[in-house]
Homo-oligomer: A and B are copies of this chain.
Amino acid sequence: MAEASSRSRRGGRAARRAMREDSANAPVAMGSIKRNIPYTELCSAEGLDIIEANAQTILREIGIDFKGDLEALDLWRNAGADVEGERVRFPDGLVRSLLATAPATYVQHARNPARNVTFGGGNVIFAPVYGPPFVHDLDHGRRYGTIADFENLVRLAYVAPHLHHSGGTVCEPVDIPVNKRHLDMVYAHMRLSDKPFMGSVTAPDRAADTVAMCEILFGADFVAENTVCTSLINVNSPMTFDEVMLGALKTYARAGQAVIITPFIMSGAMAPVSAAGTLAQALAEAMAGMAFTQLVRPGAPVVFGLFSSALSMQSGAPTFGTPEPNLVLSAAAQLARRLKLPFRSGGSLCGSKLPDAQAAYESANSLMPAVLSGVNFLLHGAGWLEGGLSSSFEKFVMDCDQLGMSATLLKGYDLSEEGQAMDAIREIGPGGHYLGSAHTQAHFEEAFYRSTLADNNSFEQWESDGSKDMAIRANAKWKQWLNDYVQPPLDASIDEALQAFIAKRKEGMEDRWS
């Protein structure tokens, strides 16, 4: 694990490449799932070739804007790109050669080493929803999120057995000034959970604060040599990186911390309406952003991200769980594997305003294709409601149940003699019943995934239990989880140092609310 994750500050491109090749055989961190089923690949090799060629044309002819960041433009100019104003065009081969230093896999360390996760390869990591300004539950409906909600969502993610990652902005704590809330958010992840987490990206100094707090939590030496946070850099599609995101990107990459370069695309608005067009543009954007991380620091861990939705041509709103973004997603995962880089997608996405059937159909139709297609880091795995405007407490636990099922699916087939069960078939024979067989009795406990929320009782039993739908059962479940939550111990001196850091940083700031 140390080999795969520790990075020398010196080694050149060849050394990075060697490390990257080694890392394919690196041990898997305990926190993530190792997939044991083949990838679902919906796009033909010929289709991928066309998309790659078109992405190269975009990079060479059209170019990508790097806005408000003279240093970025200098870095590109020095690397051999054609810089004209803020537009950067890339000679064929430049971007790919820069990507050669990006690691194929990396370990993100958690403060509890048993919860370390491996990005890339056959590894799968589930993380909660990211970004909603609102929260929603059946008791109080929809309202702006607060730091109390944020902390409760972090607690739920900690309790959830199938979330490997604590995520980042599980909701916006709008009761805290905009320029201060990143400190409270990062602190909540550090204090209330021992799972790995994401850092702030809303300004370069907030990214620097995240790194500083990581140095307090993990020790500066450890942070210098290891990845301890993975943060989300969205592309302002089409083909634009803005000053804020570039600043955060540079801060994290320089510190050797991971970033996810994510073309954030609603086809029809930020990209063409067609899957092949969206894919070519997204590939160009992701490659340019990922290559830029390697310009900043060769070997810095980076993830190929994609957030894909489609524009409703009726309402102008984004739609989720529909077939076209799934075609984009599946091919994007294939393209990421061709680049030998970790891949991130959205998770349990939906446009519904309630944790109802629409929410569930759309979420399942987002989650399963992502899992089958080979996502390594599944963001928005639990709690996403209303097109990402709300974090739903009920949907959080509903989605977590679905993640558990995905984890089971990823295990694939047991082809051992015990799995083949020929003795059981011989024992029972035609017309028999397997419930009493020795094989069933031996595997009774772990034979099937047990849903935490599905009601499979008889209609009469369900009626006498109160005729509850899944959302109502989920309302009880998240309250039970919060009740069950036990805060993982954190060294008191570290906690004090974190609090002191936050207090000092806040001292110097005027409250800002936008």
- Please, how many residues of chain A have a CB less than 8 angstroms from a CB on the other chain? 125
B274-A414 in contact (CB<8A): yes
Whether B47 lies near A353 (C-beta < 8 A) is no
Say what secondary structure dominates the interface of chain A: mixed
Q: When each residue 139-167 of chain A gets 1 if its CB lies under 8 Å from chain B and 0 otherwise, what string results?
A: 00010000000000000000000000000
Closest to A88 in B: B430
| Distance in angstroms between the alpha carbons of A437 and B433 in the assembled complex | 63
Q: Across the two chains, which residue of chain B brings its CB closest to A39?
A: B40
Cross-chain contact B277 with A422 (CB below 8 angstroms): yes
- Contact pattern, A 440-463, Cβ under 8 Å of B = 1, otherwise 0: 100111011111011111110011
A420 engages B470 (CB within 8 Å) = no
Partner of A424, one of B272, B420, B470: B272
The reply to whether A353 and B323 contact each other, CB–CB distance below 8 Å, is: no
Residue A502 at the chain B interface, CB threshold 8 Å? no
Residue of B nearest to A348 (CB): B361
Most B CB contacts (10 A, CB to CB) among A272, A324, A454, A470 go to: A272
Residues on B with C-beta less than 8 A from A455 are 351-353, 358
Nearest CB in chain B to that of A435: its residue = B269
Give residues of chain A (319-338) contacting chain B, Cβ–Cβ below 8 Å.
319, 321-324, 326-327, 331
Q: Please encode chain A, from 347 to 387, with 1 for each CB lying within 8 Å of some chain B CB and 0 for all others.
A: 00001111111111111110011001000000000000011
Give A253-281 as 1s and 0s: 1 = Cβ < 8 Å from B's Cβ atoms: 00000000000000111111111110011
Q: Which B residues are in CB contact (< 8 Å) with A470?
A: 352, 356-358, 361
Contacts of A87 in B (CB 8 A): 430
Judge if A58 is at the interface, Cβ distance under 8 Å: yes
A residues 460-487 touching B (CB-CB < 8 Å): 462-463, 467, 469-471, 474
Expressed in whole angstroms, the minimum distance between the Cβ of A461 and any Cβ of chain B is: 8
1/0 per residue, CB under 8 A from B, across A291-318: the answer is: 0000000000000000000111111011
With beta carbons under 8 angstroms apart, the residue of B43, B389, B409, B429 that contacts A459 is B389
Instruction: Find the B residue at minimum CB distance from A285.
Output: B430
Instruction: Name which of A57, A238, A355 has the most chain B CB atoms within 10 A of its CB.
Output: A238
Q: Select the stretch in A10-18, A73-81, A398-406 that faces chain B.
A: A398-406
Is A222 an interface residue, CB under 8 A from the partner? no
Q: A268–B447 contact, CB under 8 A?
A: yes
Let me know if A68 is at the binding interface, CB within 8 A.
no
CA distance A419 to B389 in the complex (A): 31
A437-B271 Cα distance, complex, nearest whole Å: 10
**How far in angstroms is the closest Cβ of chain B from A335?**
13
A408 → chain B closest CB, angstroms:
4
Determine the chain B residues whose CB is within 8 A of the CB of A444 once the complex forms.
Answer: 273, 313
Contact for A454 among B319, B402, B448, CB less than 8 A: B319
When A40-B372, A317-B457 are in contact, do A277 and B447 touch as well, CB less than 8 Å?
A: no
What CA separation (Å) do A429 and B84 show in the bound complex? 14
Contact B354 A432 (CB under 8 A): no
Shortest Cβ distance from A475 into chain B, in angstroms?
A: 12
The distance in angstroms between the C-alpha atoms of A79 and B507, with both chains bound, is 91
Q: Are B274 and A421 in contact (CB under 8 A)?
A: yes
Decide: A364 and B368 in contact? CB cutoff 8 A: yes
Taking CB atoms, residues of chain B closer than 8 Å to A272 are 421, 424-425, 434, 437, 439-440
B-binding residues in A (CB < 8 A): 37-38, 40-44, 46-47, 50, 54, 57-58, 61-65, 87, 142, 236, 238-240, 267-277, 280-281, 310-315, 317-319, 321-324, 326-327, 331, 351-365, 368-369, 372, 386-387, 389, 398, 402, 405-406, 408-409, 412-415, 418-422, 424-426, 428-435, 437, 439-440, 443-445, 447-451, 453-459, 462-463, 467, 469-471, 474
A-B contact pairs, 18 of them (CB 8 A): A38-B44, A62-B426, A240-B430, A268-B434, A268-B435, A271-B434, A272-B424, A274-B418, A274-B419, A274-B421, A274-B439, A274-B443, A322-B405, A327-B413, A352-B469, A359-B360, A368-B368, A372-B372
Given contact pairs A273-B443, A356-B470, a sample of 6 additional A-B residue pairs in the complex whose CB atoms are under 8 Å apart: A272-B425, A273-B434, A317-B456, A321-B405, A353-B463, A356-B360
